[in-house]
Amino acid sequence: MDFLKEIVFEDPDKIGGSIKATIQKTGKLGFSSGAMDFMNLKSTPYFKIGFPAEGNAGDLIYMVPTHLKEGAFKVAEAGSYNYINLKNVFDRKGIDYKNKTYTYDIKKEKTEGVEYFILIIRKK
C-alpha cells in the first residue's frame, strides 16, 4: 500500500459541482453552483460580454470580469442562483434560445495579464 503515498486523491466535497452555464428560455444566462464558485460571481458585479468576429453566434461567449458598470452587464442574483440577462444580445445575435438548448462548459484563460472566461457550447 506504499504506492498510495504517491497519489493525490481528489476530495469530492471540494469539487463544487459541474462548471457550466445555460441560456434559459427567458434569455438569461444562468450559472450552475460550480460555475458560480469557479467564476467568483459573488464578488464580481459585472462582466463584459463578447463573441468571436467570425463563426456561429452562440458557439463561444467571452466574459471579462470587471467592477466597472460602463460597457458591462450586471450579475443578478435570485436566491442562490446567479444569472446575467442577455436576452436583447441573444436576440440581436440571432441565437434561438427559445427553441434550442444552449449549454456551455466554462474555461478560465489569461492573456496579457487579463483574466477572462470562455463559454464553449456543448455539442450534442
Tell me the three state secondary structure of residue 20. strand
Strand arrangement, sheet containing 81-85: 73-74, 46-50, 60-66, 114-121, 102-111, 20-23, 28-31, 81-85, 76-78
The predicted model gives 77-92 an average pLDDT of 94
pLDDT at 62 over 80: yes
% of the chain at pLDDT higher than 90: 74
Q: Which three cell numbers stand for residue 71?
A: 460597457
- pLDDT band per the 50, 70, 90 thresholds, residue 16: low
| DSSP code of residue 89 | H
% of the chain at pLDDT higher than 70: 93
pTM check: above 0.75: yes
